[in-house]
Structure formats: C-alpha cells, structure tokens
Amino acid sequence: MNTSGRSGPVGPDLPDLLGGLGGLDERVAGCRACSRLVAWREEVASVKRAAFADWTYWGRPVPGFGPPDARLLIVGLAPAAHGGNRTGRMFTGDRSGDVLYEALYDVGLASQPTSVSADDGLELHGVRVTSPVHCAPPANKPTPEERDTCRPWLVQELNLLRPTLRAVVVLGAFGWQAALPAFAEAGWKVPRPRPAFAHGRHVPLDGLELFGCFHVSQRNTFTGRLTPAMLREVLATAAEAAGLPGST
C-alpha cells in the first residue's frame, strides 16, 4: 500500500510522520515510479520460474531489511528477479543471499546462516540490508535514470538511520556509485573527487566509516573473485568500526 497517495518517492520530512522506517518501507513497497521496472517485476511475478511455480511472488519493490537502530548498513544493487522479487525480502531466496547471510552469521551478525523466505525467522543483529534500486531490473541492470529516481528512498533511509549508523558496506561498483551521492544528500561530507570503488576500500565520511566489497553475485563467488573469507573480513572490519560484537 502506498500511503503517500503518489506513485514515486515523497519528501524527506514525511517518514517520521508515517512511522519511521516502517512507514518508509511501506511506501517503498507501493512505488510505481519507473514504468520499465514495474512491467518487468510484474511480468516475472506472473510468468514465474518453473522451480517456483507454486510460489505467490511478491512482485513489488523490496524494502530494506533489519532493525531500525542498525549501526551497520549493507548496500547492494537491486533485488533479483526470482530472489527478492519472489520472496519480498532483500537477498532472500537466491545464491547471492546464501553467500551474504552465511557470512553475516559467521561473524555474529545474523541469527541463522540461511535466508529462504520472509517468514523463516532470520534476524539481523545491528545490521540493515538495503539497495539503491528497490525493483528487480531486466538483466540485473538498472538504468542511470532508474537509479536516480530511486535515490530519494535511500536518502530517507539514511536520514532515519543516522542516529545509530556508524558504518556502511557497499557491495559492488554500481552500488558504490549510486550510494555516494545519497550519502552527500543525507548530509555526510563526501570527498571530492569521489573515491573510486575497490574491494577493501575504506573511506571515512565525517563520522561514518564506508567500506567497499565485491558484490556477492554468482559471477564473483563462482569464479573466486570474492571468497567467503574475503567477505567475512570486510564484514568483521565494518562491524568493529560500527561497534558491533562481530567476530571472525
């Protein structure tokens, strides 16, 4: 349900009036701002994949997942067509999510190592997971216009998390390029020129510690470009910077 009565993002002053992150998540899930993404996510939800023929797909924008007082934020790219777009939860129901949540569990930031459905009991400890684009895009490639249209949601999320947020892990170059302008709009001082993405990159942002990490895509994990040990190292370092009790 889009409680704003609009098809796209609304002003940054409204989330507090509409119930903080819970209100923001509800309005994200009702967004229909990008016609190409709306058509694709709904087509995928209708046609389905044979392996999930008995599922009722979510088929809507996927809001962030995690506690409202998170000290660590993980920023991905966009929901997968048959992962988040099916289950309604970030990085849930696909191989990328399997890798991410197992690593979060290994460093003490998740209650279980698997993430298969929105009602599987998974809880995150001091961590929230989001993305700069909330709809599943064709070929996993949002356009720059779609990225920019979705940015106000991330800015509002950052504003609401600001009282507790201490560190951010951005997965992949697309997420890095999309997130830096959002940090700037949310009031953090981003260096000029903007720092380039690299795995293990650490950039202090005026009280917020920013870390880069290769994306947990199948291309990266199957080829060994990103190993479980590499992912755990970045997450544990970021957890320590955030003041969370993560451990290796």
In the predicted model, residues of the chain with pLDDT beneath 70 are: 1-19, 246-248
H helices, E strands: number in the chain: 9, 5
**pLDDT tens digit string along 80-133?**
999 999 999 999 999 999 999 999 999 999 999 999 999 999 999 999 999 999
Residue 245: the pLDDT is: 79
Beta strand 209-213 with 202-204: parallel, antiparallel or unpaired? antiparallel
The rounded distance, in Å, linking the Cα atoms of 41 and 191 is 36
Residue 82 and residue 139 in contact, taking contact as beta carbons nearer than 8 Å: no
Residue 152: the pLDDT is: 96
DSSP 83-99: THHHHSSTT-SSHHHHH
Helix, strand or coil, per DSSP, at residue 149: helix
Residue 20 and residue 160 in contact, taking contact as beta carbons nearer than 8 Å: yes
CA-wise closest residue to 27 among 41, 12, 39? 12
